[in-house]
Structure 1
Amino acid sequence: MLTHPTSERLRSLGLVAMAQALEEQRRQPDLDGLGFEERLALLVEREATGRDDRRLRARLKFAGLRQSACIEDIDWRAARGLDRALFGRLAAGEWIDRHQGVHLTGPTGVGKTWLACALGHKAFRDGRSVLYQRLPRLLEALALARGDGRYARMLKTLARVQVLILDDWGLTPLTPEQRRDLLELVDDRHGRAATIVTSQLPVSTWHEWIADPTLGDAILDRLVHNAHRIELKGESMRRRAARRAVPVDADQEN
């Protein structure tokens, strides 16, 4: 008679998984042979597992990874200059502990964003905080945050993330304000956290893209010298996938 109100009480206390487990125990007569502490242990374990799952889902939602990518799914057959040994070392995550960077450069479509998200997902699975941002939109968001008083708080949040992915670096010209924001961002993270950058521009042209000698020196000094470089090449992966998806004409088969 007390089981139903107990379930409701558990739910009101926020112990939803435990309440569900208790209801399941009621429908499993084979559990009647277990002692009180054994059944209680099952309920507690269910609640702990449920909370862990909710935390993981919240962290993954916060990460906002653009691609659903896993390092186990990398296509090593594609000829794009991806060093398997280097990528394997990066997947292990020691570079994150050393607060280093990864620069993925190459033409559009070769998989820079996908590979960055794969590294981010592996870091997430290893228990690290991850955040994906397209740099043009991030700089716009920082400008808005400056106007409504959230600027310092937003920079603090970005500085705390263990792995920050900055996608589309160099895609659009920088304004003077954006150059300063970029310096604040990389300075806050330098020597404290790891950053992944993807760009169509070679690293050798980044100084020219920043277009300010003083700020360019300051930004790149904090970003470039402690980073691993992966320079991709070859045909667009999207173009290759599209070709495989197109059925071969019957006349071409004969």
Structure 2
Amino acid sequence: MRQQQQPELQSLSFEERLELLVDQEWLDRQNRRLARLLKEAKFRVAACMEDVDYQHPRGLDRTVMRSLAACQWVEYGQHILIAGPTGVGKTFIACALGNAACRHGYTVRYYRVPRLLAELATARVDGSLRRILNTLARTDVLILDDWGLAPISVAESRDLLEVIDDRTQARSTVIASQLPIETWHSVIGDATVADAILDRLVHGAHKLNLKGESMRKIANLHHGLALPSHRHFAPSPQCHRAGRMKSETAVDLDQNRWSA
């Protein structure tokens, strides 16, 4: 039907038109898969690597970020640790890395650490803990935001160790925290468990130590008005276009159709 609405395609041979149909079907399936991965990830903000701001100095290296966008760290089961003051863009970068992973076909899940710990505590009571742990263990990229926002109790630290241990050398974890990485040990209630958790996370991880002023504050000054939280994180059209995969021989038969 869509080919019949494109007069310029009528001159193509049957084989060429069939090839276009196959390419379009492949493209549609890839878009549906990407849309599903993005929905399941439950990102806190809509972000992509193309929208990372390098104009304001935050200690970000464009070359390093471009390398991380290729997602080889996911393939090798490596971790990324992001630390920096409030508002500097940790959540945005963590979600942008997760978005890149989705676009490479990996499964991603975003959690705020307090909420994850609360869910694990509830699951331990109702008997669903093993099911949740198995789901987290199978997730290619687990994003843990607001690490160390509140002290982690002894019981919570043991649940957290279960999550981290299941992923060691097999799956990747992205952690964002307001605290410097060297102070993470002090917020975990059990020192022995803290040693085990950080041993699995820190060694060999990619570390992004951000600095500078709050990006929200900069945006407010730039626009001269009070913007809602995360307003400057709205993804650009380029971010949406980058998620769409297309064969070199495919013809876009419907310019307005993109489910992702």
SS in 2 for 1:109: coil
**1:243: Cα distance to partner?**
1.0
1:28–1:103 CA distance, 2 compared to 1 (3 A): closer
What TM-score, normalized by structure 1, do the two folds share? 0.80
1:31–1:87 CA distance, 2 compared to 1 (3 A): closer
Of 72, 75, 86, the match for 1:108: 86
1:43–1:212 CA distance, 2 compared to 1 (3 A): same
Of 40, 48, 53, the match for 2:31: 53
**1:174: Cα distance to partner?**
1.6
More helix by share: 1
Task: Say whether 1:196 aligns with 2:196.
Answer: no
Taking every aligned residue pair, what percent have the same amino acid on both sides?
Answer: 53
Of 128, 142, 151, the match for 1:164: 142
Task: Say whether 1:239 aligns with 2:252.
Answer: no
Q: Figure out how many residues of one structure are paired with residues of the other and give that number.
A: 225
1:41–1:233 CA distance, 2 compared to 1 (3 A): closer
Q: Structure 2: any 5+ residue segments left out of the alignment?
A: 226-260
- The CA deviation string for residues 106-153 of structure 1, in whole angstroms up to 9 with x for no partner, is 100000111111111111111221111111111111112222222111
Task: Indicate the larger mover: 82-91 or 128-137.
Answer: 82-91
Of 124, 128, 137, the match for 2:115: 137
Whole-Å separation in 1 of the counterparts to 2:203 and 2:36: 33
Structure 2 residue aligned with 1:19: none
SS in 2 for 1:211: coil
Structure 2 residue aligned with 1:81: 59
Task: Indicate the larger mover: 198-207 or 170-179.
Answer: 170-179
**1:52: Cα distance to partner?**
2.9
Higher radius of gyration, 1 or 2: 1
One-letter code aligned to 2:156: Q
- The CA deviation string for residues 81-126 of structure 1, in whole angstroms up to 9 with x for no partner, is 1122322222222222221111110100000111111111111111
Whole-Å separation in 2 of the counterparts to 1:88 and 1:52: 23
Of 97, 102, 107, the match for 1:124: 102
Whole-Å separation in 2 of the counterparts to 1:201 and 1:234: 14
Structure 2 residue aligned with 1:229: 207
Aligned pairs (5 A) from 1:91-106: 91-106=69-84
What TM-score, normalized by structure 2, do the two folds share? 0.78
CA RMSD of aligned residues (A): 2.2
